[in-house]
Amino acid sequence: MNKIKLTPQIKEKIIDSLRDYFQEERSEDLSHLGADLMLDFILKEVGPMIYNQALIDVHEMMESKIEDIFLLELDDDYKY
């Protein structure tokens, strides 16, 4: 799998969220660099698992939708 890539804007939002979380939940100051390194770790170690689960979820949803298409099938009187 390719490395998970984020736009600079999304990356900054996540870094800000990590820093806010550490401040609010742990009363710790997390530096920008610390949050950036943590995000890199999460993307490398946890990201692929989340990504793969998302693919499984989408696959299951798509299979369900494809099965729904067959419910639209006309009865035998309309087949050629």
> Which has the minimum average pLDDT: 20-24, 38-42, 54-58, 69-73?
69-73
Q: Does the predicted TM-score (pTM) go above 0.75?
A: no
Q: Is the Cβ–Cβ distance between 26 and 46 less than 8 Å?
A: no
Q: What interhelical angle do 8-26 and 32-45 show, nearest 10?
A: 110
Mean pLDDT, range 21-27, rounded to an integer: 98
From 44, 20, 47, 48, select the one nearest 32 (Cα to Cα): 20
How high is the pLDDT of residue 54?
A: 96
Is residue 67's pLDDT more than 90? no
Which two tokens mark 29? 């100051």
How high is the pLDDT of residue 73?
A: 75
